[in-house]
Homo-oligomer: A and B are copies of this chain.
Amino acid sequence: MQQNERGEPVTIVDIARQAGVSIKTVSRVINREEGVGAQTRARVQELVEQLGYRPNVSARSLSSRRSYLIGVIFMQVGAYHYVGEVQVGAMRACRRAGYHLVIEQVKPPETVGGVQAFADVLRDARFDGVVLTPPTCDDPEVLIAIEAAGLPYVRMAPHKEFERSPYVFTDDRRAAWEQTLRLWDMGHRRIAFIDGPDTHGSAIRRREGYISALRERGIEPRPEWIAKGEFLSLSGFDAAEALLRLPERPTAIFAANDEMAVGVLAAAAKHGLSVPRDLSVVGFDDTPAAESAWPRLTTIHQPTAEMAEAAVEMLIEGFGDERFRGRVVVRQLDYRLVSRDSAAPPPV
């Protein structure tokens, strides 16, 4: 069923011979090109399915100068969940369109020769396009390498230079604003914030949302309420420790991601504080950690997989019209507030 009479994979030649047409005609049917009569098309189509023919990607790319490969570029720094979601979403979109997903890791900036190695990989992988995740999507060297290779790319939640390429994003600023107001509306007035690294655009925008929400309610957030974090659980723990030692302790802590929020939970436990009775804690992202923490985290759902899916779709659609030539395409996806058990009105 999947082999021709010589015991080898079915090729376009086999189809052509059996259908009594030229290989070019079969090629046209496969690629949904016009210029084929209805009956011919149907006959070829049927044979293709019957023999289980699948085009040879190598031959196809050699000839068409397309690889049907999309690359996802990331820098592994412990954000397994995020990268995993991106991959799953990207893969879904790829599969729908007959593409495959290749993953490539960029070494953290400090690594010697990292970018050169990356450029080499780009050149021999011959991707049709790549998706960039934060914080790589703002790394100037990486961007230059990709542009030098003439590759179309889409960035996910970029930090700056929005005109430089198409990108997908969610409104982090507004989401953080809503999250903060949610605490406010519960009655919290001393709301602290744990920041992410400045290399992530979303961290910055989340902080902005937090600040603007408080200002809107007529409160200027005190500097000591904003603690530096690194998006890692441990940094959330440390930041929370500092916040909980403040003379006027915050009644609520908003961590810029769930991982840090889990760290806050641990710090609260260490200080003998019951969440949410003595302290409310909210996160951001809605990772599995949020669901499995105790108490379950009130957070904001980030449609990571869907964003990646959208990014790949934009890439593939872009291949049609002269590869994005200059056009910047933007796609926004919606976040969603998730209410669980870690936030409640403050102690009276």
Contacts and interface: CB of A to CB of B under 8 A. Distances in A.
Given A80-B85, A233-B292, 18 more contacts: A9-B123, A54-B123, A57-B124, A57-B125, A57-B126, A69-B102, A83-B84, A98-B124, A100-B102, A100-B121, A233-B289, A237-B292, A237-B294, A259-B292, A267-B294, A269-B294, A270-B294, A289-B289
Interface of A: 2, 9, 52, 54-59, 61-62, 67, 69, 76, 78, 80-81, 83-85, 87-88, 91, 95, 98, 100-105, 117, 120-121, 123-126, 232-234, 237, 259, 262-263, 265-267, 269-270, 288-289, 291-294
Contacts of A294: 237, 263, 265-267, 269-270
Given A54-B123, A232-B292, A84 B80 contact: yes
A266 B293 contact: yes
A291 B262 CA distance: 12
Contact of A103 (B52, B85, B91, B263): B91
Nearest to A71: B100
Contact of A88 (B57, B76, B95, B117): B76
| Nearest 9 pairs of A and B residues by beta carbon | A266-B294, A233-B292, A80-B84, A58-B61, A58-B62, A54-B124, A80-B80, A80-B81, A58-B58
